[in-house]
């Protein structure tokens, strides 16, 4: 694996191409000067649109991702390929057909992710609760698929901010889910709250165990955590199949059917916006996790130490921070938080283990953490977007016959553009923003929220 110095020693080499710091904002000067500055900065507010401000880069990345995936779409749908084959004889037809097709596909994506205007209108004209539920159903679905994403991605970003590449989201979700499921179908007599808390504790413990293995190996042997965590994903997936083929976890009387036992009602997360909307109490868990990670990273001593170690090994050494402790602690915490996502899925959505559990969330969450720049709020927004793509993709497949998998292409393209701001800057001729934070937290963590 790459030399440890190369992968993690971030002290010197990341600085070279960093843009010059912004000129100081309007100072505390008296009177008219301040007013003029304010007017100038209001004008400058428009100028921000042409800089590599993270929000600008993000919007343009979304746009570019959709454009490139449209190209893929055009190439992969036979009728569009035929239309473009005759572009010299019938150019209008090619364009109109393409736009009609793209419109219907992305329209379905939007309808499935956010909502159908027609259904909203119907709900306004006939405001019954069933109609409102139908109108908000797509948004509810989006939230349901965003909740595990945001929890997992925030868990991963704890590790990323500490300079540890945790790619093992899937393994930690699986072990978390195994813990939650075990508690969930076992202690039938417990009342609701203690049972759910116990299940989440088991989920965190499972995730932490899965995270500790790469953390300890990294700390004591220097094993590349990238490879170890990816291998852990495959091992955990096989381990899950193994568990489900045994009699303890498998649902009773199903023969060889690899499906886990169902959690008892006292351990399920109920729906919080009425029976018509699928949003469950996992949303509350996600909000708590956002708060926890924000406090951990921005207000706590432990998080500060993690980030120092992630930003610069030598600074950490000078400050007396033990690198091994950081690796183990960051991986354990990261794994525990990711494990909660497994718990939320088990207790709130699937209610039982099944083969292939967590594979999509585990990998998608890595991209979400990258897009969200490892910041709690950014990650939450990115998770909403990616969750929306997940749910919208299903509607798109249903309505216009485009495979659901197209969304994973869009998701990968977006993150590719987001992590290469220089690329977006080159395409759209953007200037360097004054203090545009680099999208790599572990490199930039030293200049926290500058």
Partner 1 sequence: MTRTLLDRLSPAGPRPRAARPAAQSLADRLAARARRKASWLVLVLGALLVLLAANAGSQHARLGVGSGTGGGPVVSGPVWLYCGVGVLLALAALAVIRTADASRAGRARVLAATLVVLLAFVIGLLAWAARSGQVSVGGVLAVSVGGAIPIMLGSTSGVLSERSGVFNIAIEAEFLAGAFVGALVGSTTHSTMIGLLSGVLAGGLVGQLLAVMVIRYRVDQVVAGIILVSLVTGLTGYLTEQVLTPDSAALNSPPTFQPIALPLLDRIPVVGQALFDQSPLFYLAILVVVGVEVLLRATRVGLRIRAVGENPAAAESSGIEVRRLRYLSVAGAGAIAGAGGAYFTVGSTGQFVAAMTSGLGYVALAAVILGSWRATQAAAAALLFGFASSIATTFGLLKVSISPSLLLMAPYVITIVVVAGVTVSGKAPAAAGGRLDD
Rounded to a whole number of angstroms, the minimum distance from the CB of residue 38 to partner 1 is: 36
Q: Tokens 């813990």 map to which residue?
A: 179
Residue 332 interacts with partner 1 (CB under 8 A)? no
- By CB under 8 A, residue 250 contacts partner 1: no
Measure the CA–CA gap between 229 and 404, rounded to whole angstroms. Answer: 27
- Per CB under 8 A, the list member of 5, 47, 274, 291 interacting with partner 1 is 5
Binding of partner 1 at residue 388 (CB under 8 A)? no
Q: Are 329 and 214 in contact (CB under 8 A)?
A: no
- Window contacting partner 1 (CB under 8 A); options: 53-61, 180-188, 203-211, 361-369: 361-369
Cα 287 to Cα 383: distance, rounded to the nearest angstrom: 12
- Which whole-number Å values give the CA distances from 217 to 82, 204, 212, 312, 327, in the listed order? 55, 20, 8, 21, 9
How far apart, in whole angstroms, are the C-alpha atoms of residue 233 and residue 171? Answer: 4
How far is residue 244's CA from residue 251's CA, in Å, rounded to a whole number?
Answer: 8
Query: Please, how many CA atoms are within 13 Å of residue 265, restricted to the half-sphere of its CB?
Result: 0
Our finding on whether 357 is near partner 1 (CB under 8 A) is: no
348 closest CA partner among 87, 169, 145: 145
Does position 7 bind partner 1 by CB under 8 A? Answer: yes
When asked if residue 242 is in the footprint of partner 1 (CB under 8 A), the reply is yes
- Given a contact cutoff of 8 angstroms between Cβ atoms, the answer to whether 398 and 404 are in contact is no
How long is the chain? Answer: 450
Question: Which window, 34-42, 99-107, 218-226, 261-269, contacts partner 1 (CB under 8 A)?
Answer: 218-226
Q: Which residues pair with 271 in a beta bridge?
A: 280
**Closer residue to partner 1 (CB): 217 or 381:** 217
Kindly state the helix (H) or strand (E) to which residue 386 belongs, with its residue range.
helix 376-400
Pick the stretch among 27-35, 292-300, 307-315, 396-404 that binds partner 1 (CB under 8 A). Answer: 396-404
Q: Decide: is 3 part of the binding site for partner 1 (CB under 8 A).
A: yes
* Min separation Cβ 441 and partner 1, Å: 11
Distance CA 32, CA 40 (A): 12
Stretch that binds partner 1, among 6-14, 89-97, 129-137, 384-392 (CB under 8 A): 6-14
CB closer to partner 1 out of 183 and 389: 389
Is 210 a binder of partner 1 (CB under 8 A)? no
Distances (CA, A) of 161 to 301, 319, 429: 14, 17, 30
251 touches 261 (CB < 8 A): yes
Task: Give the residue with the Cβ less far from partner 1, 2 or 46.
Answer: 2
Kindly state whether residue 422 participates in binding partner 1, applying the rule CB under 8 A: yes
Q: Which residues, 6 or more positions from 238, have their beta carbon under 8 angstroms from its beta carbon?
A: none
Check binding of 13 to partner 1 (CB under 8 A). yes
Report residue 126 CA to chain centroid gap.
Answer: 37
- In the set 67, 227, 288, 318, which binds partner 1 (CB under 8 A)? 227
As measured in angstroms, the least distance from the Cβ of 298 to partner 1 is: 23
Q: Residues 123, 332, 413, 430: which binds partner 1 (CB under 8 A)?
A: 413
Considering only residues 354, 419, 435, 448, which one is a binding residue for partner 1 as defined by CB under 8 A? 419
Q: What tokens were used for 7?
A: 């992968």
Q: Figure out which of the listed residues 63, 84, 187, 239 binds partner 1, where binding follows CB under 8 A.
A: 239
**How far apart (Å, rounded) are the C-alpha atoms in residues 450 and 435?**
8
List residues binding partner 1 (CB under 8 A): 1-10, 13-14, 16-17, 72, 76-77, 165, 167, 213, 217, 221-224, 226-228, 230-235, 238-239, 241-242, 245, 363, 366-367, 370, 402-406, 408-409, 411-413, 415-416, 419-420, 422-423, 440, 443
């Amino acid at each position: 694996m790459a030399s440890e110095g190369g992968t993690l020693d971030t002290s010197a080499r990341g600085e070279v191409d960093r843009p010059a710091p912004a000129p100081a904002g309007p100072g505390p000067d008296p009177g008219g000067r301040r007013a003029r500055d304010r007017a100038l900065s209001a004008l400058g507010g428009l100028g921000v649109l042409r800089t590599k401000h993270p929000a600008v880069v993000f919007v343009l990345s979304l746009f570019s991702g959709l454009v490139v995936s449209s190209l893929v779409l055009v190439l992969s749908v036979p009728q569009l390929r035929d239309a473009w084959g005759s572009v010299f004889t019938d150019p209008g037809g090619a364009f109109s057909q393409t736009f009609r097709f793209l419109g219907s596909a992305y329209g379905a994506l939007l309808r499935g992710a956010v909502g159908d205007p027609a259904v909203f209108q119907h709900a306004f004209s006939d405001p019954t609760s069933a109609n409102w539920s139908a109108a908000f159903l797509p948004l509810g679905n989006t939230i349901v698929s965003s909740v595990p994403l945001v929890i997992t991605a925030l868990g991963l970003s704890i590790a990323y901010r500490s300079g540890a590449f945790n790619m093992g989201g899937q393994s930690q979700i699986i072990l978390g889910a195994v813990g939650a499921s075990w508690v969930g179908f076992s202690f039938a007599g417990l009342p609701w709250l203690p049972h759910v808390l116990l299940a989440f504790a088991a989920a965190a413990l499972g995730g932490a165990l899965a995270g500790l293995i790469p953390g300890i190996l990294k700390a004591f042997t220097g094993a590349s955590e990238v490879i170890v965590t990816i291998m852990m994903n495959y091992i955990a997936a096989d381990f899950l199949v193994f568990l489900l083929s045994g009699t303890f976890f498998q649902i009773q009387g199903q023969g060889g059917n690899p499906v886990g036992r169902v959690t008892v009602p006292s351990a399920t997360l109920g729906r919080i916006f009425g029976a018509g909307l699928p949003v469950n109490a996992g949303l509350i868990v996600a909000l708590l996790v956002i708060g926890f990670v924000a406090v951990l990273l921005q207000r706590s001593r432990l998080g500060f130490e993690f980030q120092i170690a992630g930003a610069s090994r030598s600074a950490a050494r000078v400050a007396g921070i033990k690198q091994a402790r950081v690796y183990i602690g960051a991986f354990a915490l990261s794994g525990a938080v990711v494990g909660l996502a497994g718990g939320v899925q088990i207790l709130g959505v699937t209610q039982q283990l099944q083969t292939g559990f967590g594979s999509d969330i585990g990998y998608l969450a890595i991209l979400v953490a990258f897009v969200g720049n490892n910041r709690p709020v950014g990650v939450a927004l990115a998770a909403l977007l990616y969750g929306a793509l997940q749910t919208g993709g299903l509607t798109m497949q249903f309505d216009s016959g485009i495979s659901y998998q197209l969304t994973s292409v869009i998701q990968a393209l977006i993150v590719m553009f987001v992590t290469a701001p220089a690329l977006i800057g080159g395409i759209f001729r953007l200037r360097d923003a004054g203090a545009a934070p680099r999208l790599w937290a572990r490199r930039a963590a030293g200049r926290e929220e500058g």
